[in-house]
Chain A
Amino acid sequence: GQQLNQSPQSMFIQEGEDVSMNCTSSSIFNTWLWYKQDPGEGPVLLIALYKAGELTSNGRLTAQFGITRKDSFLNISASIPSDVGIYFCAGLSGGTSYGKLTFGQGTILTVHP
């Protein structure tokens, strides 16, 4: 099936630093989603991107839908301890109305105070 390569696999940063992570694929996607999973909880949607080239912000988070439709990145500015968690990208290809997403492997973020 389709695969998403998400990097980095893990990050250890100091509070206040900026963070960048990305997802790439050999396949084209029509929608890119970014989720965050807090420890012991299910993933929660952060940002949804529906158009190639789209740049969307949600507070300190910024995500972009790559112009080739094969990649997306997520930036977090001025990290804080509650940013800790696992971040997942997910892509939706055309031809389905069932929301069958393909997920990346996740980026584990640790923020040191």
Chain B
Amino acid sequence: DVKVTQSSRYLVKRTGEKVFLECVQDMDHENMFWYRQDPGLGLRLIYFSYDVKMKEKGDIPEGYSVSREKKERFSLILESASTNQTSMYLCASSHMGGSGANVLTFGAGSRLTVL
């Protein structure tokens, strides 16, 4: 069964800590995405990547960075966590073209609490 795997389902961190959220997909997808989900706001795009070592800012990139050293892995980094980054973080991937292009497959999510 193909999937997107987020290694941490629940994390609790302190203000100022550096946080890494890892995501791995086994579908050989070119595109990978990080969203955050907050009640009443839907899903907001933080960063995306369309190739190894490539990254593009989404709608809310402030306070975040990303890394894509391998095609299957896309990491979200919070350099100095703040309480307003408490949220559900969703990783997703998609094909660049062909059948099903641009249809996102999501991971189960990582719920981060910053104290």
Residue numbers of A with Cβ under 8 A of B are: 1, 4, 6, 9, 31, 33, 35, 40-45, 48, 88, 90, 92, 97-101, 103-106
Contacts and interface: CB of A to CB of B under 8 A. Distances in A.
B101 interface: yes
A99 B104 contact: yes
Contacts of A105: 40-42
Given A1-B59, A101-B102, A101-B104, A42 B42 contact: no
A44 B43 CA distance: 13
A106 B90 CA distance: 15
A45 B31 CA distance: 17
Nearest to B90: A42
Residue among A99, A100, A101, A106 facing the most chain B CB atoms (10 A cut-off): A99
Given A33-B103, A42-B107, A99 B94 contact: yes
29 contacts: A9-B40, A31-B102, A33-B103, A33-B104, A40-B108, A41-B108, A42-B4, A42-B90, A42-B106, A42-B108, A43-B43, A44-B106, A45-B104, A48-B103, A88-B43, A92-B102, A97-B50, A97-B97, A97-B101, A97-B102, A98-B102, A99-B33, A99-B95, A99-B96, A99-B101, A99-B104, A100-B33, A103-B44, A105-B40
B28 interface: no
A45 B40 contact: no
Contacts of B43: 43, 88, 90, 103
A33 B90 CA distance: 17
B31 A99 contact: yes
B103 A97 contact: no
Contacts of A43: 43, 90, 104, 106
Contacts of B95: 99
B107 A100 contact: no
Nearest to B54: A98
Contacts of B59: 1
